[in-house]
């Protein structure tokens, strides 16, 4: 009994202990904080920090990238303005009377072309050579860059470039030529802008119109006209290949300078077109040529540049500046110019050997049109145009104005004059050679270039009348009424003298020298200047002209100008030689042409006895013989 109770009490106490223990555990559970579902492991607890770090890195990367891009872009030009505005020198094209090119100056732009206005093989040649993936990339071509990188590594140097057509356009339109990382990044930024702003065809048209292609030409139309004499709409497949090959090295591959190199590059372009699927191999082989045939660029080397450059100066004054592309049509006649250059080649060596190191020449038509001009012996060694700008003492050539004034005052070729004159205001004129002859006719005094006869006439009619006559016929130099005015001590230019003598060739009408017939806008053909056919002014009476023809005809027939005689054609002229043989002149005219020749030294030093009746008269005769032989309707005999 006692044992059962004891056992019962143990069970009761065990239950109580267990219950108490359970109560404690329950209390402990109630006291402990509950775990959230996101805190069930250590790994999930790291995600918020990583997310915050990632967002922070992204933000800072964006900020840094934007800052770098901003640093590269802060000094970029305004692309829209650069597209609209062409910052360049105006182009000036100077041509002869027959259209022969004399000079091209400045940067040459042709007419704007569209893709539909040129043969399809022209843009295809560019795409095949410069950027075959042009229609597939957004302005920068990673595939092209990778391909170029591999090719350059294999070649051990720069064998290919990775620039797209759009990048080239960005570089040429907006950026300098420097090779820096900054410029390359800017080039890429501008390429992306261009691609976003314009469609592919428009970009290709801009490229065709603005790319530099050598010889001062910008755009395919200017280059086609410059090299081949045709607009871009008429270029052949071969010509297109040559043009497409030029962007690689426009100066080195210039067809004028390197026709064989340009041809080799053209053949490469044709092969590129085959590889791009634009041509068959048979078509490429048929089009390929061994060299590049270009149009003639200059009728007689550099010798025409004196006249062409003078024409450019005159054009600026006629149209109020050179601010647009123009074509200047001059009065230069190629056949007459060739005659002048041939005379210089034949007579020049002897004259230079005698100490006359330089010369000047100008030929005028009766209305004053400059048909030919030489500013010296060699334009490549001296750009100074002596025909227009050199002022030298004319010597006896100036006597023209003395005798014209005399004729208007009543003197005739048969008037007798005593060449033994007394000193005038303490000055005694001297004659070359035989001294005084006594009483001679004016005709003989002129033919034999007797100085005292000219002075006697000047004193008889009045020195001021001589000066007034010179002014009337175009002499602009300052002149003082000294006794020596009759002997040509006033410095004048060959051009001024030619204009005065051309008045006789025109029968007494004004013959002011001019070199420009027309100036037009090269883009649309608008006439900016046209020389009018206004009535000329009569400066000399027919009677005065007839008497002058008489005395100057005697000078060539049997006087000091005998070396200028023309077989079968009347010639009239006057020799001139200054003190110590410093200047030697011949001024002469026919019914069709007037020409003036000067020989001497730029520094005014004496020559070795070069006088007007020697090399200048010979030069005039050689020139006039050839020039008049080419005149229609003339039967000029030439000496054997």
Catalytic residue annotation: 130, 396
Task: Judge residue 78's burial from the number of C-beta atoms within 10 Å of its C-beta, 0-12 exposed, 13-18 middle, 19 or more buried.
Answer: exposed
Query: Per the structure block, which two tokens stand in for 152?
Result: 């350059």
Starting at the earlier edge strand, list the strands of the sheet with 594-600: 370-374, 358-364, 594-600, 583-589, 572-577
Which one-letter DSSP state was computed for residue 31? H
* 602 CB-near residues (< 8 Å, 6+ apart): 357, 358, 384, 386, 390
Nearest to 305 by CA among 364, 363, 376, 365: 376
Tokens 């054009």 -> residue: 315
- Cα separation, 610 vs 352, whole angstroms: 10
Task: Strands of 429-571 (E only): list them.
Answer: 439-441, 516-521, 527-530
Contact 399, 486 (CB under 8 A): yes
Contact 95, 101 (CB under 8 A): yes
The length of the chain is 640
Tokens 């843009």 -> residue: 123
Helix (H) or strand (E) holding 492: none
What separation in angstroms does the CA of 171 have from each of 115, 212, 500, 551?
A: 22, 11, 56, 70
CA dihedral angle for residue 100, residue 101, residue 102, residue 104, rounded to 10 degrees: 170
Contact 419, 431 (CB under 8 A): yes
């Amino acid at each position: 009994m006692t044992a059962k109770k004891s056992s019962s009490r143990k069970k009761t106490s065990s239950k109580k202990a267990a219950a108490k223990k359970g109560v404690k555990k329950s209390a402990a559970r109630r006291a402990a904080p509950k775990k959230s579902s996101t805190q069930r492991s250590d790994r999930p607890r790291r995600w918020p920090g990583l997310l915050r770090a990632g967002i922070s890195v992204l933000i800072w990367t964006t900020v840094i990238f934007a800052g770098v891009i901003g640093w590269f872009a802060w000094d970029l030009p305004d692309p829209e303005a650069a597209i609209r505005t062409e910052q360049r020198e105006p182009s000036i094209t100077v041509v002869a009377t027959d259209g022969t090119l004399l000079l091209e100056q400045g940067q040459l732009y042709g007419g704007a072309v569209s893709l539909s206005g040129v043969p399809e093989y022209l843009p295809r040649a560019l795409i095949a050579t410069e950027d075959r993936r042009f229609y597939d990339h957004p302005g920068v071509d990673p595939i092209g860059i990778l391909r170029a990188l591999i090719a350059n590594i294999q070649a051990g140097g720069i064998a290919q470039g990775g620039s797209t057509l759009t990048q080239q356009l960005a570089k040429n339109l907006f950026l300098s030529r420097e090779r820096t990382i900054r410029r390359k990044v800017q080039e890429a930024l501008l390429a992306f802008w261009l691609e976003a702003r314009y469609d592919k065809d428009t970009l290709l048209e801009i490229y065709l119109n603005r790319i530099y292609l050598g010889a001062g030409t910008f755009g395919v139309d200017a280059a086609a006209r410059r090299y081949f004499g045709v607009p871009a709409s008429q270029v052949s497949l071969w010509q297109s290949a040559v043009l497409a090959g030029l962007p690689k090295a426009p100066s080195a591959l210039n067809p004028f300078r390197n026709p064989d190199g340009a041809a080799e590059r053209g053949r490469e372009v044709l092969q590129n077109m085959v590889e791009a699927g634009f041509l068959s191999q048979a078509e490429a082989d048929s089009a390929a040529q061994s060299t590049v045939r270009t149009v003639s660029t200059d009728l007689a080397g550099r010798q025409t540049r004196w006249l062409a450059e003078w024409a450019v100066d005159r054009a600026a004054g006629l149209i109020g500046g050179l601010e647009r592309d123009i074509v200047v049509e001059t009065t230069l006649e190629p056949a007459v110019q060739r005659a002048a250059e041939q005379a210089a080649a034949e007579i020049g060596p002897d004259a230079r050997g005698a100490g006359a190191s330089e010369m000047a020449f100008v030929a005028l038509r009766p209305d004053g049109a400059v048909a030919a001009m030489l500013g010296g012996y060699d334009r490549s060694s001296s750009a100074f145009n002596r025909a227009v700008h050199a002022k030298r003492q004319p010597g006896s050539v100036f006597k023209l104005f003395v005798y014209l004034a005399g004729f208007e005052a009543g003197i005739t070729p048969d008037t007798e004059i005593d060449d033994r004159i007394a000193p005038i205001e303490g000055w005694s004129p001297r004659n070359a050679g035989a001294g005084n002859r006594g009483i001679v006719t004016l005709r003989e005094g002129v033919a034999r270039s007797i100085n005292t006869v000219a002075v006697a006439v000047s004193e008889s009619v009045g020195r001021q009348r001589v000066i007034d006559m010179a002014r009337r016929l175009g002499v602009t130099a300052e002149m003082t009424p000294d006794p020596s005015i009759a002997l040509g001590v006033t410095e004048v230019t060959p051009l001024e003298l030619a204009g005065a003598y051309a008045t006789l060739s025109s029968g007494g009408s004004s013959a002011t020298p001019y070199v420009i017939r027309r100036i037009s806008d090269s883009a649309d053909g608008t006439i900016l200047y046209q020389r009018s056919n206004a009535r000329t002014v009569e400066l000399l009476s027919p009677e005065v002209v007839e008497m002058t023809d008489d005395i100057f005809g005697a000078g060539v027939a049997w006087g000091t100008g005998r070396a200028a005689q023309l077989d079968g054609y009347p010639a009239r002229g006057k020799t001139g030689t200054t003190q110590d043989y410093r200047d030697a002149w011949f001024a002469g005219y026919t019914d069709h042409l007037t020409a003036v020749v000067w020989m001497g030294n730029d520094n005014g030093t004496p020559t070795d006895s070069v006088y007007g009746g020697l090399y200048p008269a010979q030069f005039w005769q050689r020139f006039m013989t050839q020039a008049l032989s080419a005149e229609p309707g003339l039967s000029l005999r030439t000496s054997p």
